Every structure is written in structure tokens, then in C-alpha cells.
Amino acid sequence: MITLRLCAASICLLLVFCGGALRAQDAPHVGLKIRTLTPDLRKQHNLGADLKGALVTGVTAGSAAQEKGLSVGDVIVEVGGKPVATSKDLADKIAEARNSGAGSIVLAVVGRGDRREVTLPIAQAPAASKTILPGPK
């Protein structure tokens, strides 16, 4: 049995990526599930009160994001040198990159005590993917 869980941020990402049509097969895919970093999430993940960005809440198994070392708890703070304040900001910036013909994006990521840049390809969403999520199975 397959359980499908779509949160508002996931639906928003699909809508932004697909120009309003909810067609997952056409969505650009970077292998991440994200949420806006809120005060509660900052506290839960022991992050600084002034940190803004998109919290990584899941990483697709076998994706470039996983291969590049992104993991649950990382925070994406910039895309292409532009600040990210919310998950919508991130979705918008990835959509802009896709619409401009870019094949990849550069993310500034804070996690595990450091800040690093990671370049990820923007790929079409795979037909079926398994997302690595924290918590019980």
C-alpha cells in the first residue's frame, strides 16, 4: 500500500513548478521536501532565532540532493546568491531558474555547524520516488 501525504508546501511547490496545473510528472525535481523555518521548528532543531530559510524535512533516496550530502534538518538560506525566507521563496527561485533554462541551481545551506554551497541539477520528477523522512515508519 502506498500512502500519499501532501502538505500545503508540497502542493504549492507543484503548483509553482507546473504553472498552476498540478501535474507532478512535469514538476522540476531537486530531491528535497521542505518547509518554511518557523520559530517552533527553529526551537525543535536547535537553530538560531535569526536564521531564515527553508528547512529540509525530507530527501529523496538516490537523488542528487542525497548524493551532495543534504539531509533532514539542513536549512536552505540562498538560491543563486538570493536570500530565501520561506519555502515559497525557494519554490519561486527554482521555478525562475527552470523557466530561464537553467539546468541546475546553487543552494547556500546551513547545517551540521557549517555553511556550504551545493549545486543541484533541476530534473523532471521521477515516476516514483522514495523520500527519506524522520520518524516512525
CATH number of the CATH domain containing 113:
2.30.42.10
Q: Domain residues for 124?
A: 29-132
- Whether residue 46 is contained in a domain is answered as yes
- Whether residue 3 is contained in a domain is answered as no
- Whether residue 4 is contained in a domain is answered as no
User: pLDDT of 44-60, one tens digit each?
Assistant: 988 888 899 999 999 98
Rounded to whole angstroms, the Cα distance separating 20 from 1 reads: 29
- Whether residue 49 is contained in a domain is answered as yes
User: pLDDT of 75-130, one tens digit each?
Assistant: 999 999 999 999 998 988 888 888 888 889 999 999 978 999 999 988 655 544 45
- Whether residue 47 is contained in a domain is answered as yes
**pTM for the whole structure:** 0.71
- Whether residue 45 is contained in a domain is answered as yes
- Whether residue 10 is contained in a domain is answered as no
Rounded to whole angstroms, the Cα distance separating 83 from 71 reads: 20
Domains in the chain: how many in total? Answer: 1
